[in-house]
Amino acid sequence: MSKRQYNLNFISDIDLFNHVKETVEIYSESMDLKKFNNNLIDPIKLTFDKIVYKKSIDEIIEAEIIRQLDKTNTNGIGYFHQNIFKYIGGNDWSVPPQGFDIVNESQQIYVEMKNKHNTMNSSASQKTYMRMQNKIINQPSAICMLVEVIAKNSQNIPWETTVDKIKMNHKQIRRVSIDKFYKIVTKNKTAFKELCLVLPIVIADVVNSMTEEVVKNTVLTDLKEYGSNTLTNIYLLAFDKYEGFKDFVLADEFCD
């Protein structure tokens, strides 16, 4: 635990540190050659990437590993944004295990949170809107919010969408950017900005406090066990059962 003070008046230092630590641990997924190749690596794409971008094959593989881990990382960021409200806003705000992402029963606020404004396709958007509509029908004083971390604008507006080819909007179904939502929860209009300013410091403190590597990556080491020609090894992983590949070896100039 860091002894540094982060000085946010809406979340304690220890809660912020521990929540960031939990998020970092979601990132801490190991990657070995078996897991790397489970996604059916495309050697042709890696070859284009290497030569066009003038990168070493090790750099290209590292970039591919990061791309593969990105889905887990995205889930981790979703965890961070949603579950921080376990600690912000007092006991009125909660993060239920199912149903709406964030709830304030006393104020009758029900939240679905999305990382980006365009992460929902039309079907998911309709389903979410209809769910909110049903909530208001059964609880007329309820306010439902689609909270977007990365929205086009800073906003708290009626959510206008199309359901079964009919344009819909309701003053109690809101589309809210994350800064406006933090303002609702904390009563501080710059709370989200203040969090963003301190967040790199907290992440660094968390990572520096960890005794093991955040991501254990043995892909390149595992590949070297098949031979020194790394790009050739990538081709053989993908195409070893194809005709003619038993004696496949790329020129050394393309394999560094």
CB 89 within 8 A of CB 83: no
Give yes or no: residues 103 and 188 share one domain.
yes
Give yes or no: residues 109 and 174 share one domain.
yes
pLDDT at residue 226, rounded to an integer: 76
Give yes or no: residues 101 and 179 share one domain.
yes
pLDDT digits (tens, 9 = 90+) for 143-183: 999 999 999 899 999 998 877 778 888 999 999 999 999 99
Give yes or no: residues 166 and 185 share one domain.
yes
Q: Is 153 exposed, middle or buried (0-12, 13-18, 19+ CB in 10 A)?
A: exposed
In a domain, 8, yes or no: no
pLDDT digits (tens, 9 = 90+) for 171-215: 999 999 999 999 999 999 999 999 999 999 999 999 999 877 666
Instruction: Pinpoint the alpha helices (H) of the chain.
Output: 13-27, 33-38, 43-52, 57-83, 122-138, 178-186, 191-209, 219-224, 230-239
In a domain, 201, yes or no: no
Give yes or no: residues 181 and 120 share one domain.
yes
Range of the domain at 229: 13-84+210-254
Q: Running DSSP on this structure, what letter comes out for residue 229? A: -
Give yes or no: residues 74 and 95 share one domain.
no
Give yes or no: residues 222 and 135 share one domain.
no
More confident residue, 75 or 172: 172
Torsion of CA 71, 122, 128, 151, to 10 degrees: 60
Write the CB contacts of 155 (distance below 8 Å, at least 6 apart in sequence).
175, 176, 177, 180
Band of residue 27 on the pLDDT scale cut at 50, 70, 90: confident
pTM of the model: 0.82
* Euclidean distance between CA atoms 34 and 91, whole angstroms: 45
Domain count, the chain: 2
Question: At 96, which amino acid appears?
Answer: P
pLDDT digits (tens, 9 = 90+) for 30-57: 788 888 888 778 999 999 999 999 988 8
Torsion of CA 139, 82, 182, 123, to 10 degrees: -60
CA terminus-to-terminus distance, the chain: 42
- Residues facing 210 on adjacent strands: none
